[in-house]
Chain A
Amino acid sequence: MNLPKISQVTGRAIPVPGDDIDTDRIIPARFMKCLTFDGLGEYLFYDTRFNADGSEKLHNLNLPCFRDASIMVSGANFGCGSSREHAPQSLYRAGLRAIVAGNFAEIFFGNSTNLGMPCVSASRENLEKLSSATENDPDLRVVVDLENLQVRYGTECIPCEINPGARESLLNGTWDPLEELLTATNEIEETARSLPYA
């Protein structure tokens, strides 16, 4: 299986500010009653976007100018809470291809990397600058550059970070580990046999 090498993500960015945005917020549990991940994009941030009667609240995700954004900009501890892959899947299926935030909850980060959706960290100050720049000009072209560990927009260039292993696998196109895991047939067998339990 040849996965694309992901060295940068380019597109419009959508700011969804706030710290500790948890997976229940990203996709409320009631939308997890599904047998496949198809269609989850619709329910992204559902309760933050819609009132109980289905009418829209004021939220960037509801604004036409951000509709085809591919980069989300948020705060610290993004994706905390549940291990549900439904959260990164709903982001991915809503068209997002990279997340720039303060830092990420571990399982969310791993799940996103497995989808080929890089999660990069930037300082609070730089996140605020980037957010307000995209608020002011939603058409702004933003580049998340994994090779050079930079986020560039307009004339600005801010440094970003990502776990080196995840970066490697995105750059090499090995971000979905299944193929590689499958090749170690004998070693897996050996480890299984050496365990003191069945």
Chain B
Amino acid sequence: MNSKNLFEKVWDVHSVGELANGQTQLFIGRHLIHEVTSPQAFGMLREKSLPIRYPERTFATVDHIVPTDEASEPYSDILADAMIKELRKNCAESGVTFFDVDSGKQGIVHVVGPEQGLTQPGMTIACGDSHTSTHGAFGAIAFGVGTSQVRDLLATQTMAMSKLKVRRINVNGDLGTGIYAKDVILHIIRLLGVNGGTGFAYEYGGDVFDSFSIEERMTACNMSIEGGARVGYVNPDHKTFTYLKGRPYSPSNEEWEKQVSTWSSYSSDKGCSYDDIVTIEGSEVAPTVTWGINPGQAVAIGENIPNPDQVAQNDRAGVIEALDHMQLRAGSPIQGTKVDVAFIGSCTNGRLSDLEEVAARLPGHKVRDGLKAIVVPGSQIVSKLAMEKGLDKVFIEAGFEWRAAGCSMCLAMNPDKLVGDQLCASSSNRNFKGRQGSPTGRTMLMSPVMVAAAAVTGEVSDARTVFG
């Protein structure tokens, strides 16, 4: 009777009370901050002379603006330099832990949290960044929030939220070889639409998610927001617990058994109800590539770029605008589109397993002459582990530039930018106009292995053929 899904359980445990407008005052167990969306919030609190309520629940890192090719400060970009200094100052003054660039732990906030064991099942997590949904891979409920909410969280550790509906998305059966979590999530967004998830939390499950590693679950949860869902999560299981064991902020050995049983109790109950259920066959997912200017404008590698005359009336103007920006011809194959830049990194696909997956295929291949290819590890720890395995050498040998950790060309707030109308095969999550730093730049989203295939052939290619 009383069965509940994970979202409802976690929501109930963290509810402080109801607000006058009917919203819930929700307690947030972990608050993650970075340099772009927090300085204004600290400023607002200073103006109101409000203290930070639970500084021990907030953790900071610097990711968006850090250059990936020069380590020394001051940064040549004075605005970027001011931002890192401001964050450093705010953290020092308020007692917030900061994984600074000299800590060996700095990196993209959504890579750092899990890596440090800060992200745990059954938690509520918030960060002034839309890809906070990533942390749902552990069975946490993680919200991307705006700066006013960062302010609210610093001041009260709570925020005003309306309860979401929950859509269960089952991906059943097996994925074909050479199909990745990135393809699965691009496929889901393509099916349900870029605003199909408005008002929903997505609970992912089924055989495919059960067999996914934690890092693969993170890739999928990461892009929930691209489907309009503010939250995406997977119920915790033994893989979640194994991943967390022994991490710096994970429970101690004495606490471990007790925590694992608490964590397990958050899983959605058998027979619980959902507001909606969608079922997808894993065998239908192909390597998927975006051709347009939103992440839902995607096709399978073997398909053609859509023709505006053959899409629904309401989509027509969007397709025409996208084709115009992307300089692509309606109806022609996506395969063979010429690529200028290849970017492997971001909070979607900048983890160790992503780099390993690509490095395993690179020997014997070279980046196409004249093509710029960069690898940006998601964190300093990812970078260190990768270098211990010699992956940096494999990438460099193949003609990639091996960079320091950060967001880099995912949104180009640092010096890594597209130039003019360059077309970039990118393992990141957004292909909006101008996203990668040039207003006329063009982005095609795909899995890291597909990015590598594009890098070595100079065009959008089927990685399964390129790497055999």
What is A's interface to B at a CB cutoff of 8 Å? Answer: 18-20, 22, 24-25, 28-30, 32-37, 47, 52, 76-77, 80-86, 88-89, 103, 105-107, 110-111, 114-115, 124, 163-166, 168-169, 172, 174, 176-178, 180-182, 184, 187-188, 191-192, 194-198
Contact = CB atoms under 8 A, between A and B. Distances in A.
Residue of A29, A52, A124, A191 with most chain B CB atoms under a 10 A cut-off: A29
Contacts of B430: 22, 24, 81-82
Contacts of A197: 29, 120, 122-123, 251, 259
B147 to A, nearest CB: 4
Given A168-B21, A184-B25, A192 B157 contact: yes
Contacts of A163: 162
Contacts of B447: none
A28 to B, nearest CB: 5
Given A77-B195, A83-B130, A106-B230, A188 B318 contact: no
Contact of A33 (B195, B321, B413): B413
Interface stretch (B303-311, B347-355, B431-439): B431-439
A47 B259 CA distance: 50
Contacts of B356: none
Contacts of A28: 434, 439
A86 B150 CA distance: 13
A107 B437 CA distance: 23
B369 interface: no
B194 A181 contact: no
Given A28-B434, A178-B151, A178-B155, A165 B25 contact: no
Contacts of B15: 191
Interface in B131-184: 132, 144-149, 151-152, 155-160, 162
Contact of A181 (B22, B159, B230, B318): B159
B198 A105 contact: yes
B156 A182 contact: yes
Nearest to B120: A197
B192 interface: no
Interface residues of B, number: 78
Contacts of B21: 165-166, 168-169, 172, 174
Which 4 A-B pairs have CB atoms at the shortest separation, nearest pair first? A111-B146, A85-B146, A33-B79, A47-B439
A33 B17 contact: no
Given A36-B40, A124-B314, A195-B29, A82 B130 contact: yes
14 contacts: A18-B317, A24-B411, A24-B430, A29-B411, A30-B413, A35-B40, A107-B144, A165-B162, A177-B159, A178-B151, A178-B156, A184-B156, A191-B16, A195-B27
B176 to A, nearest CB: 30
Nearest to B263: A196
Given A84-B36, A180-B19, A107 B228 contact: no
B37 A83 contact: yes
A194 B13 CA distance: 8
Contacts of A184: 16-17, 25, 156, 158
Contacts of B435: 24, 29
A180 B18 CA distance: 10
Nearest to A32: B36
B40 A37 contact: yes
B301 interface: no
Nearest to A88: B146
Contact of B65 (A33, A115, A172): A33
Interface stretch (B80-88, B93-101, B275-283): B80-88
Residue of A19, A33, A195 with most chain B CB atoms under a 10 A cut-off: A33
